[in-house]
A and B are shown apart, each in its own frame.
Chain A
Amino acid sequence: MKHKSLLLLPILGFSVLSGCSTMGVNAWEKDLLAKPEMALDEQPLTDALDDHIYFSKEASSGGRAYAGGGCGCN
């Protein structure tokens, strides 16, 4: 039942895509978004350290990046 709701994903994806075409700014308005601290991968090492901790201590992993494997962590 729960997995059926995942069938809604393509519909959601399409809505997001069509919504996207109406959003955005001109190239010369990207000064703030171009700041390094606004990048989505601003702190890759911190993200990787956090992902590794939570991968070791929680049943869910991934989402933001690959779920991966990589250790026999306890």
Chain B
Amino acid sequence: MKKNLLLKSALATATMTLIAGAANAEEEQNKTAPASKEQAIGDWKFDAAFLFYSESDSRVSAIEPVFNANKRLDEDEYLNLKLTVDSLTGASPSGAVGSDQPLTFTRPSGNASYTVNANEHPLDDTFKDTRVALATNWTFPVSETTKAGLGANISKEYDYLSASVNGNISYDFNNRNSTLFAGLSYAFDSIDPVGGAPIAFGRMQPVGDPQNKLSGSQDKDTLDLLLGITQVIDRESLFQFNYSYSMSDGYHNDPYKVLSVLDDQGNYFDDGIPVANVLFESRPDERTKHGLFGRYKRFIDGDILDASYRYMTDDWEIDSHTVDLKYRFTLDNGDYWQPHVRYYTQTQADFYQPYLRQDQALPQFASADYRLAEYDAITVGLEYGMKTAAGNQWRFSLEMYNQTPTEPEKYGALQQQTLLPDWNAVMFRVNYSF
């Protein structure tokens, strides 16, 4: 038995030497296709990325530089540090519906107001924020077949703080053809909106009136569990299967989202207060999510197929399906083109409501956030990758994202308005690994 193992390992070493030899010979012959840089023990490896993101109709636009440094401390031991800066500006749908009259809203700070023209989809154009996030991760071997990882993240923006810690363990078996993975993450989030977080279903008040606002920050705890298996199928392919569980407890409202209160004609109900009749949203303070994720990756004569599917379901009754396909066409010189298609569809949250009616009782929970509505989304993109003579890697990618919601049921004057307009975004990304 032991002899057999020794023989296998000797064969493996001999084969690897042969392969390495062949690779060296090939490299000598073909100088235009530099090999990837090996990261020796003690070496740092750096990755930088820059994302430009822009939504249609002057909605959100963002620039996001990322810098990653990875040091190989030992044979199977790495330290990873990542810095992300995320700077965004623009407008976001507030949840209010449009009207054939101009509408005046108080800004979230309570210090100013803005007006939305008649028959326009109400957007709150207050967004301007910079987020800085730092992530560290340390992976190390526990035994010959077991590895572990420990990580910590912190992310801060003007009104939001998030901090998390995570740990994971992975175990190789079946001749290193199978790997089991288990990970746990705990996150603490705290939001402290300018002007205070609104009371659930609190009526929006005119400028300078702080009633219906809470003082202090609102917190949320999130626990994530991830269990997975990765399996080699044959010489060219492998698959991954994950189960994920996520439980969050605390403040889940978006303090900037509102719901319009309408009369029986589909117009804003006039209660005499000189700002549009909208109430701040109210969400449950708990959420539990389950996810199943499967991925298949195959090497096809130098090209690579990468396909995945995800199903998610939660106790807000949101079910979603995501299919993601990438195919990498490798060119003779080692560069590649990689088309990408992603399809996403979700059902609406059970408390999603596009508006409230004055003649109906208030539900326990309601939100008009478009992200909790029913919609489909498609991403189409193309990436080009190339290596420099020194073995450094450039990647350029351009993607388009298009979201098409299901328009909710309307009545009376509301029929003139689009409650959930389609929207799209352009994403341009550059990566450099050195």
A11 contacts the other chain (CB 8 A)? no
- The answer to whether B322 touches A9 (Cβ under 8 A) is no
* Residue numbers in B under 8 Å from A32 (CB-CB): 235-236, 299
Give the B-binding residues of A (Cβ under 8 A): 2-3, 6, 9, 13, 16-17, 20-21, 23-33, 35-38, 40, 43-46, 48-49, 52-54, 57-60, 62-72, 74
Looking at B114-122, B153-161, B208-216, B270-278, the stretch in contact with chain A turns out to be: B153-161
Alpha-carbon gap, A16 to B242, bound state (A): 11
- The answer to whether A71 touches B92 (Cβ under 8 A) is no
Interface size range of chain B in the complex:
35 or more
Question: How far does the Cβ of B61 sit from chain A's closest Cβ, in whole Å?
Answer: 12
Alpha-carbon gap, A69 to B162, bound state (A): 7
* Residue numbers in B under 8 Å from A2 (CB-CB): 313, 319
Q: Can you name the residue of chain A whose Cβ is closest to the Cβ of B399?
A: A50
B147 contacts the other chain (CB 8 A)? no
Other-chain residue from A57, A67, A71 in contact with B160 (beta carbon distance below 8 A): A71
A-B CB contact pairs (8 Å), 17 listed: A16-B229, A24-B177, A26-B175, A43-B395, A45-B66, A46-B397, A53-B53, A53-B425, A57-B371, A57-B403, A59-B371, A60-B346, A64-B308, A66-B246, A68-B164, A69-B248, A71-B155
Knowing A20-B178, A24-B232 are in contact, say whether A68-B224 is a contact too (CB < 8 A): yes
B112 contacts the other chain (CB 8 A)? no
**Interface of B (DSSP majority class):** strand
Question: How far does the Cβ of B397 sit from chain A's closest Cβ, in whole Å?
Answer: 7
- The answer to whether A64 touches B68 (Cβ under 8 A) is no
Count of CB-CB pairs between chains A and B under 8 Å = 204
Knowing A37-B304, A58-B371 are in contact, say whether A72-B242 is a contact too (CB < 8 A): no
Give the A-binding residues of B (Cβ under 8 A): 8-9, 11-12, 14-16, 19, 36, 47, 49, 51, 53, 60, 64, 66, 68, 82, 84, 86, 92, 127, 131, 133, 153, 155, 157, 159-160, 162, 164, 166, 174-178, 183, 185, 187, 189, 191, 220, 222, 224, 226, 229-236, 238, 240-244, 246, 248, 254, 256, 289-293, 295, 297, 299, 304, 308, 310, 312-314, 316, 318-320, 322, 328, 344, 346, 349, 371-372, 377, 395, 397, 401, 403, 425, 427, 429, 431
